[in-house]
């Protein structure tokens, strides 16, 4: 029986390789798409944020100098680039020309008005076509204004309570250090870099298409009238079914391994340890075979089975996070995504990419294999009815 199953598998694989359909769908298209997404979206998503701002200082007082010093310190960190404007009209022109996202106009008498207790305004001119940079520009001005207002309120309160000379209080407030500061800590190694996200996401998405070749060919044999010839041969029915399933398994594993190696070498994608990656690939192929087999047993034709499977795979791919990380999504969408094998495959690859070993990916493997067992069991039981004369 095994020899007969291998002969059937070899025959189907030769047919697919001859018409190039398996190579195109299983390797060429997903690999090309992964490269395109990495080249076009990778530089955008991985680059650090920076925006250009302009400043026109018509005041020249200590408050204006403090504001300019704050911008200079942020510029030193690489978050902004400060452009000096000679006039207020020049600052506005820079915004209108989209050369900067925001422009600050510091009017004459700003420092004197602020120290005298009267209203003082920093004009912020924003470019609506650069919403992120404009929001950052407004936030910087608001933060500076809040700090100045807090210092002035403290000085006024202290003076009202009979404290020392307000001028000395101001100097101490300026020279003193802030009582509270922010400490930035980022968790490392818990998510995908974008090259790996594109590589694994595209591989998982197309994996559920590539396994269709073997399973759906059972329905195709009946439609083409070749099933009776196979059944007339001196081989058991189980050999036909096993041979078709082996085609799906071999194509699915081979194509995903090729994508894994190619994206690792050419895109610097980091999939993780080889053993864990292979376990996830085999589990994913098994789940995809179960899904396709279950659909094939209820469809009336190979074309209908392919259409239904494609619809389910696309929906599962979106829900499962093959195009964007669903870990950033909360609520019902996040809960529903966990019913898809795509989610658990992506979660397993994420953990593997982060350096976690077999223990770390066990929950993902368990969920994928459970999905494969349920649908695969239904598909195998019903698939035996497909191997018949009519």
Q: How many CA atoms lie within 13 A of 385 on its CB side?
A: 11
Local structure of 311: helix, strand or coil: helix
> Which own/partner contact pairs does 280-283 have at CB distance under 8 Å and 24+ positions apart?
280/345, 280/348, 280/349, 280/352, 280/361, 280/364, 280/365, 280/368, 281/253, 281/256, 281/257, 282/253, 283/345, 283/348, 283/365, 283/368, 283/369, 283/372
pLDDT recorded at residue 331: 59
Mean pLDDT for 323-343 is 73
- Nearest in space to 79 (alpha carbons), one of 133, 42, 135: 133
Whole-number pLDDT of residue 69: 87
- What is residue 388's predicted lDDT score, i.e. its pLDDT? 55
Residue 328, pLDDT above cutoff 70? no
> Is residue 334 within a helix (H) or strand (E), and if so which, with residue range?
helix 332-337
| pLDDT tens-digit map of 209-246 | 888 776 677 766 666 666 666 666 667 776 777 777 88
Q: Which domains does the chain have, with CATH numbers?
A: 2-44+193-383 (no CATH), 48-175 (3.40.1710.10)
Nearest of 345, 320, 322 to residue 333 by alpha carbon: 320
Rounded (5°) CA angle 346-349-354: 125
Q: Tell me how far apart the alpha carbons of residues 275 and 284 are, in angstroms, rounded to a whole number.
A: 14
Query: How far is C-alpha 208 from the chain's CA centre?
Result: 19
Q: What spatial distance separates the first Cα and last Cα of the chain, rounded to whole Å?
A: 23
pLDDT at 274: 92
Q: Is the pTM of this model over 0.75?
A: no
Using the predicted structure, report yes or no on whether residue 80 has a pLDDT greater than 90: no
Return the structure tokens found at 118: 């009267």
Q: Which sign does the torsion angle of CA 71, 72, 73, 74 carry? A: positive
In this predicted structure, what is the pLDDT of residue 45? 47
94, pLDDT greater than 80: yes
The answer to whether residues 30 and 203 touch, using CB atoms and an 8 Å cutoff, is yes
Kind and range of the H or E run holding 256: helix 237-267
The Cα 303–Cα 357 span in angstroms is 41
The upper half-sphere exposure of residue 106, i.e. CA atoms within 13 Å in the direction of its Cβ, equals: 27
Structure confidence by residue, pLDDT tens digits, 3-46: 777 777 777 777 777 777 667 877 788 888 877 776 766 544 44
């Amino acid at each position: 029986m095994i020899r007969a199953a291998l002969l059937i598998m070899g025959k189907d694989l030769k047919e697919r390789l001859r018409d190039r359909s398996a190579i195109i769908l299983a390797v060429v298209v997903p690999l090309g798409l992964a490269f395109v997404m990495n080249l076009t979206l990778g530089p955008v998503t991985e680059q650090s944020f920076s925006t250009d701002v302009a400043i026109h200082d018509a005041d020249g007082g200590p408050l204006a100098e403090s504001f300019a010093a704050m911008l200079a310190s942020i510029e030193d960190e690489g978050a902004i680039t400060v452009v000096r404007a000679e006039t207020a009209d020049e600052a506005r022109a820079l915004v209108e020309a989209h050369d900067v996202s925001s422009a600050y106009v510091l009017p004459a008498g700003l420092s004197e008005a602020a120290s005298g207790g009267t209203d003082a305004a920093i004009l912020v001119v924003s470019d609506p076509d650069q919403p992120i940079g404009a929001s950052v520009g407004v936030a910087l001005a608001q933060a500076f204004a809040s700090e100045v207002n807090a210092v002035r309120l403290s000085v006024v309160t202290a003076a009202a309570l009979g404290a020392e000379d307000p001028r000395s209080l101001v100097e101490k407030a300026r020279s003193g250090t802030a009582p509270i500061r922010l400490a930035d800590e980022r968790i490392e190694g818990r998510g995908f870099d974008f090259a790996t996200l594109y590589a694994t996401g595209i591989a998982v998405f197309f994996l559920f298409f590539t396994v269709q070749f073997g399973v759906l060919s059972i329905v195709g044999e009946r439609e083409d009238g070749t099933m009776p010839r196979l059944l007339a041969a001196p081989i058991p029915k189980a050999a036909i079914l096993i041979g078709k399933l082996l085609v799906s398994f071999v194509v699915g594993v081979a194509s995903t391994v090729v994508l894994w190696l190619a994206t690792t070498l050419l895109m610097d994608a980091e999939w993780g340890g080889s053993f864990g990656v292979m376990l996830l690939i085999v589990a994913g192929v098994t789940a995809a075979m179960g899904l396709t087999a279950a659909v094939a047993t209820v469809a009336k034709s190979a074309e209908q089975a392919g259409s239904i499977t494609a619809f389910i795979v696309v929906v599962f791919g979106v829900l499962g996070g093959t195009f964007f990380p669903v870990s950033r999504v909360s609520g019902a969408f996040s809960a529903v995504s966990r019913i898809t094998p795509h989610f658990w495959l992506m979660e397993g690859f994420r953990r593997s990419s982060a350096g976690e070993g077999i223990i770390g990916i066990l929950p993902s493997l368990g969920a994928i294999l459970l999905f494969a067992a349920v649908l695969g069991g239904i598909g195998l039981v019903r698939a035996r009815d497909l191997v018949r004369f009519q």
